[in-house]
Chains A and B, each alone.
Chain A
């Protein structure tokens, strides 16, 4: 399966600032996603990062708040804009790929833990 590198692994940010998270994959992948995992909550899909076009956002998430870039098939960034304490969460990059069983399985990066003060 693909190996995913995310940075930063963690950061403490001030209210009102923005932070960009980078995701690098060791192979070309078609489907790349950004998830959020708030404390005690499930993984929530933010958006699908589309190469060469605008990301596809899930209900409750908008481009102005979470702009996403996908310049090629191995790299993507997620920006969390104008942060508030409610944005404190773990943000995970994920790719979809074939497992040995033949299933399309999500592989995740280690996540970026953001704390907004």
Chain B
């Protein structure tokens, strides 16, 4: 079976750093994805990890520990436009999605 867990909601202050955690239990593993979804819009791809460690891409970084079934998305220098839902996805060739973490960035 596939199980992806992430917090439902988080709040943070503009300019701060926030870490969104994700734990997974999947029958197969083909990498761990993070997507961003603004209200009323399609999910868009943010990052992909298949090996352990940190992948940095500008203000966003993603970390993976395969032995712990754990990933996190780190957002630095938060901006108001970062308010969105962040979806963790992983598993087999076609990934299973978590319910998403709604991030609210306030001034």
Provided the pairs A33-B94, A101-B48, A103-B31 are in contact, do residues A41 and B42 lie with their beta carbons within 8 angstroms?
no
Is chain B's interface secondary structure helix, strand, loop, or mixed overall? loop
Q: Is A69 an interface residue (CB 8 A)?
A: no
Name the CB-closest residue of A to B42.
A108
State A43–B48 Cα separation when bound (angstroms).
Answer: 18
State A96–B93 Cα separation when bound (angstroms).
Answer: 10
Q: Within the complex, which residue of B43, B93, B97 is in contact with A104, where a contact is CB–CB below 8 Å?
A: B93
State A107–B67 Cα separation when bound (angstroms).
Answer: 28
State A110–B43 Cα separation when bound (angstroms).
Answer: 8
Q: Give the contacts of A35-69 with B (CB-CB under 8 A).
A: 40-45, 48
**What is the total of A-B residue contacts with beta carbons within 8 Å?**
49
State A84–B87 Cα separation when bound (angstroms).
Answer: 28
Interface residues on B, range: 20 to 34
Closest chain-B Cβ to A29's Cβ sits at a distance in Å of 14
Q: Is A12 an interface residue (CB 8 A)?
A: no
Q: Is B50 an interface residue (CB 8 A)?
A: yes
The reply to whether A43 and B87 contact each other, CB–CB distance below 8 Å, is yes
How many of A's residues come within 8 Å of B, CB to CB?
A: 23
The reply to whether A43 and B97 contact each other, CB–CB distance below 8 Å, is yes
The reply to whether A103 and B43 contact each other, CB–CB distance below 8 Å, is no
The reply to whether B100 and A42 contact each other, CB–CB distance below 8 Å, is yes
State A101–B50 Cα separation when bound (angstroms).
Answer: 11
Q: B residues within 8 A CB of A13?
A: none
Q: Is A92 an interface residue (CB 8 A)?
A: yes
Closest chain-B Cβ to A107's Cβ sits at a distance in Å of 7
The reply to whether A42 and B45 contact each other, CB–CB distance below 8 Å, is no
**B interface footprint on A92-117 (CB within 8 Å = 1, 0 otherwise):** 10001001010111111111000000
State A108–B42 Cα separation when bound (angstroms).
Answer: 6
Q: Within the complex, which residue of A40, A101, A111 is in contact with B99, where a contact is CB–CB below 8 Å?
A: A40
Q: Is B63 an interface residue (CB 8 A)?
A: no
State A107–B50 Cα separation when bound (angstroms).
Answer: 18
Residue positions of B touching A, CB distance < 8 A: 4, 30-31, 33, 41-45, 48, 50, 87, 89, 93-100
